[in-house]
Amino acid sequence: MPRILIIEDDPVIVASVRKAFSLERTFELVHLDRPDKALAVVLAEKPDLILL
């Protein structure tokens, strides 16, 4: 299953993105609110798409 990583600290934006993608269940959304941890998460999770 494709994985989308959202790197965003604003909960309103995260909620909007989740809502926009909620109709489509063919991928996994992973949220990260700490950009300083992004590299480690990218290397571990290997997302197909990263939204900043």
Determine the Cα–Cα distance for residues 25 and 9; give it in Å rounded to an integer.
Answer: 23
pLDDT digits (tens, 9 = 90+) for 1-52: 899 999 999 999 999 998 988 877 788 899 999 989 999 999 998 999 999 9
Determine the Cα–Cα distance for residues 38 and 23; give it in Å rounded to an integer.
Answer: 26
Strands (E), 1-52: 3-7, 28-32, 49-51
pLDDT of residue 27: 85
